Structure 1
Amino acid sequence: MSVHIVLHEPEIPGNTGNIARTCAGTGTYLHLIHPLGFSTEDRMLKRAGCDYWPNVLITHHDSLDAFLVGKNREDLFFVETTGSAPYTTFDYRDPERDYFFVFGKETVGLPASIADEYPDRCLRLPQNNHVRSHNLSNAAAIVVYEALRQQSFPGLT
């Protein structure tokens, strides 16, 4: 069983760097779906990830469709402000499964077709109406730590 953060066409290098640091510190896999809104050589990306990049389990994908090939629908969770249920209502404890938390672009989120195709797999982080959404790196950390909490923080001290 593994936890995965999937970033669909991320635009802000600092967010991706912060998420990479969370992945390095939790043993969570990071998937980057291209095109990226920055170069992986970007100094802000490297600064945010500090010297943890060698410890990040990272995979690059050419497109969302390429990422989805062969994935079990029940392993996918799409994080959107319009999600059908709060992230805490899902069960992430099955030791035989992978958990892929897919996040959209900072400016527009995931493609609208995702909510149509996977309505039961869309989750949200509760919030008030003072913001459009949570910061991407904060949202990723919140969801990852909920999954890891349900698993009793495997491999973490």
Structure 2
Amino acid sequence: MDVALYEPDIPQNTAAILRTARCFHAAVHIVGPASFDLSDRAVRRAGLDYAASATLVRHLNWTSFAEAMAGRRIVLFTTRADTPLHDFAFHGDDVLLFGRESAGVPDAVHEASTARVRIPLAADARSLNLAVSVGIGLYEGLRASGTIATKGLA
């Protein structure tokens, strides 16, 4: 199971997501362009000791990402989804896609995703921080698909 970030806005969130994904043996795909420096040097600096061992894959744009993910399900996390996270049947090779902190994903990306899920929130809550959402989504996806055991997580 991998994580994909669509045109991320906030480098600190991306660094936290990189660390979280590394802890669960998941790759992070950045669907560009990001609104901050994604050079190897900048990633190492932001990711601290996890950057060297994390798997970060950069994609120029949505088209190149979609082509690279051919044959895999792209599961979009969005507040516009009808299916709550706990009712979705995850597969171990799913790619969990998260939108920009400021704007989510455009309608074309929303429609191109294989499935859409939402993290249930209190009725008066608007949204969660992106890094928190990724942590919740990745863990639940791994747990629900039975992938935790096969990844050797203790």
Q: How far does residue 64 in structure 1 lie from its aligned partner after superposition? A: 1.0
Structure 1 counterpart of 2:105: 110
Q: How far does residue 56 in structure 1 lie from its aligned partner after superposition? A: 0.8
- Percent identity over paired residues: 29
2:152 aligned to 146, 151, 155, which one?
A: 155
Whether 1:135 and 2:126 are equivalent positions in the alignment is no
1:87–1:73 distance in 2 versus 1, CA, 3 Å: farther
How many pairs are equivalent? 151
- Structure 1, unmatched stretches of 5+, are none
Structure 2 counterpart of 1:60: 58
1:73–1:115 distance in 2 versus 1, CA, 3 Å: farther
Q: TM-score, normalised by structure 1?
A: 0.84
CA–CA distance in structure 2, aligned partners of residues 125 and 152 of structure 1: 20
1:138 partner amino acid: V
Whether 1:99 and 2:94 are equivalent positions in the alignment is yes
Q: How far does residue 46 in structure 1 lie from its aligned partner after superposition? A: 5.0
Structure 1 counterpart of 2:8: 10
CA–CA distance in structure 2, aligned partners of residues 70 and 17 of structure 1: 23
CA–CA distance in structure 2, aligned partners of residues 69 and 63 of structure 1: 10
CA–CA distance in structure 1, aligned partners of residues 50 and 60 of structure 2: 24
Q: Is contact 2:12–2:46 with CA below 8 Å preserved after alignment?
A: yes
Q: TM-score, normalised by structure 2?
A: 0.86
* Cα offsets for 1:27-75 (capped at 9, x unmatched): 0110011111111259986565221001111110000111011535761
CA–CA distance in structure 1, aligned partners of residues 40 and 65 of structure 2: 24
Structure 1 stretches of at least 4 aligned residues deviating more than 4 Å after TM superposition: 41-48
- Structure 2, unmatched stretches of 5+, are none
CA–CA distance in structure 2, aligned partners of residues 44 and 124 of structure 1: 31
Q: What's the Cα RMSD here?
A: 2.4
1:73–1:126 distance in 2 versus 1, CA, 3 Å: farther
CA–CA distance in structure 2, aligned partners of residues 84 and 11 of structure 1: 26
Q: How far does residue 113 in structure 1 lie from its aligned partner after superposition? A: 2.1
CA–CA distance in structure 2, aligned partners of residues 31 and 39 of structure 1: 15
* Cα offsets for 1:14-36 (capped at 9, x unmatched): 00000000011110110011111
